[in-house]
Amino acid sequence: MTKITPEHLTRSAIVYVHQSTPYQVTNNLESQRRQYGLVERARQLGWSEARVIDDDLGRSGGGSERPGFEKLLAAICEGNVGAVLSIEASSSPAMGATGTHCWNFVAWSIR
């Protein structure tokens, strides 16, 4: 049994790509490869395409702006998202004091 419904598939799949520092962006290419590889995973799950949000590459969550995460939340609030695919979400910019609440919101909103 799958939790992915036809209604989910009518909405976008979004791959959220994040690395906290410019050093990680330059030197941790395997993490990037795995994260961008989630586009193919979305296709395997039934989406015809997946939108990539990678605006937060090289941005730490500590006090900096996170335009990519803001785009992700806006798309979810608009009801346009059927799935969010992300690796290493525990190190994402949203894992500050309110981060867990943000990811719970993401999970609840796309049900």
Q: Which of 12, 20, 86, 92 is catalytic?
A: 20
Helix (H) or strand (E) holding 76: helix 67-77
Structural tokens at position 33:
């490869």
Distance CA 35, CA 106 (A): 18
- What b/e readout covers 55-75, taking b as 16+ CB neighbours within 10 angstroms? bbbbbbbeeeebebbebbbeb
The one-letter amino acid at 58: G
Catalytic residue list contains 86: no
Are residues 25 and 59 in contact, defined by beta-carbon separation less than 8 angstroms? no
Residues marked active site are found at: 20
